[in-house]
Chain A
């Protein structure tokens, strides 16, 4: 879900990018899924269409989406490229946590747990 906070500090186009990357990462958007046209998304979110276009351009530059003339924009085979935004955030959160006194073991334990959960879920999905 793309949630925009106009009064926040993160640039709007960045928020759009994160939202789309988030959807891709969560599996809501799969490769070759069509994403809304810039105009439509702008109207849905109530923001400037050029800002949306800027976000799409950034995503396309990063190889996360691709566009076909006359047809629209689609999610690319993402490989590892969607991840970069999250790795940056993850790194920053890790630093904060460690700084605040959270132990390394707690962090590693959280990582293991989440990984196991998601793997089991994936297997469950593919079994159905």
Chain B
């Protein structure tokens, strides 16, 4: 027997691919269909610009389901004894085996998704550019891809961890989570925007986020997979603890998605019910002992979620503010909600002391809107002209000084909880004013507004506040009067 075997004489990837010939073709057919639905949903390929966005949802569903199927087939040795006997006997290390399987998932699922979408989009760009929204199709394709990657990575992770039919349940759970991801991504956007403070790319950010998550999940799956022993086929690697952690993690992520300021409690209740139902399905025989334990785990997860919420809503000074995106600080402005064409699908924030921010506050109408009554006050120079950069900076200074001398209401920890979970009023909305400085630019299609939310002023101090502004050299005119 020749002892000196070349490593490249063994083709674990080829042997993987050879094992799944028929299903590869079927999956490919469905992926082509998904790509067609993607491009066709935003301007039909036939040239008739009908808009049927719901087809896009079907594309996502196809890609996710085919991803779960392909991943399950590739990692068959985690649950099937016969496959494990055959595949683990092949002379490759567990690490090589993992990568071979990963590659087979990529080649059978990811590459077809990318190529078919690219092909359809290129075709449309070449021949039907005017009737099909190419850019949007690209964005949708990126989203579909990120869904596919997420489905693959989560399925592989659950296979590596559990290897049983429970894996299906968790994969389904993960799918639901992934499916609703786009609809309520406020937390991700918030977090990323706060982290980088730059003008987000909208849906591209979500795709990028999911790509990073996918890579991390694949790394985790690889680590767990190489831990597996042949005995773990059809079983958890680490006992029920792994399943619990996975389920708990999924619940946490779901809460982050579905939790909405002021409306969290119905979502939490539904999640609790689903969580308990899953536990009941898995641990039927020991339900009496298991369900109380599940409730405890759920409470622990919710606690983590609460901490997360508080982090999201806290500012550096340790105070809590229950206004979304309103980290109000004395001495700092920032401009939020860049509204473009009255649709705010692009948002970002700038700090008022940033160079290009000031550039944007060129010639505009500076107004102050009373956030309680929405009364509008215009701020102009004494001669009626709009404040320029210098004067605006001066105004900002005045405001800053005013606020640093005065206390503004804070929300306590419990106020925030009340607001986030029950929609209770925050102290901001109680007895005092918040105001907004809004700057508008451009006209027509290019019109957009920049808003600055901040400074809380006590109701009875409003006249003083207005007077202070006037003394700084500005004129304040109340434009509307909705109050009383």
User: Do A and B touch (CB < 8 Å)?
Assistant: no
What residues make up the interface of B, taking CB atoms closer than 8 Å to A?
Answer: none
